[in-house]
Amino acid sequence: MTSNQNPEEDLRRREQELKERELSVRLRELESEVYGRPEGASSAAQEVEVVTDVPPTKPSFKRTLRKIVNVGKFLAVVVAVVVAVKIAMWLAMAIMIGSIAYISYELFLKNDRPSS
């Protein structure tokens, strides 16, 4: 049968060929990622440009782990800054209360003593 006689069969055949090409491209991408062979990546990239319906690849485990580590570092810095600000506030409050107590002592209690 030719494509003019049975267009549905031709469409199914083309879809099957497209799926096979997508799978082979994805397999080459995964192999190059696992084995670190850049020579296969260039041909796979050329075929990806031809096939436009390829779903985006999932991020690798190492990349995800790096992102998690960076987020952890950021959160550690944020927690350290918050703790430092809290300690500075407590210290400032202690200094203010101490200075108010000292000034009150100087004004009210020290002058009440008779100087002899």
Q: What is the pTM of this model?
A: 0.41
For 54-100, how does the pLDDT look when each residue is reduced to its tens digit (9 = 90+)? 555 566 888 899 999 999 999 999 999 999 999 999 999 999 999 99
| 32 and 64 assigned to the same domain | no
Alpha carbon distance 103, 63 (integer Å): 60
- Residues 6 or more apart whose CB falls under 8 angstroms from that of 24 comprise 47
For range 96-107, the mean pLDDT: 95
| 72 and 50 assigned to the same domain | no
pLDDT (0 to 100) of residue 112: 66
The domain total for the chain is 2
Confidence label for 43 from pLDDT (cuts 50, 70 and 90)? low
Alpha carbon distance 59, 3 (integer Å): 40
For range 107-116, the mean pLDDT: 72
| Residue ending a domain, choose from 57, 82, 100 | 57
| 37 and 49 assigned to the same domain | yes
pLDDT (0 to 100) of residue 33: 84
pLDDT (0 to 100) of residue 59: 63
pLDDT (0 to 100) of residue 102: 96
Closest CA to 44 of 31, 34, 53: 31
For 14-26, how does the pLDDT look when each residue is reduced to its tens digit (9 = 90+)? 999 999 999 999 9
Asked if residue 50 has pLDDT above 70, the reply is no
Q: Supply the range of the domain harboring residue 115.
A: 59-116
| 2 and 29 assigned to the same domain | yes
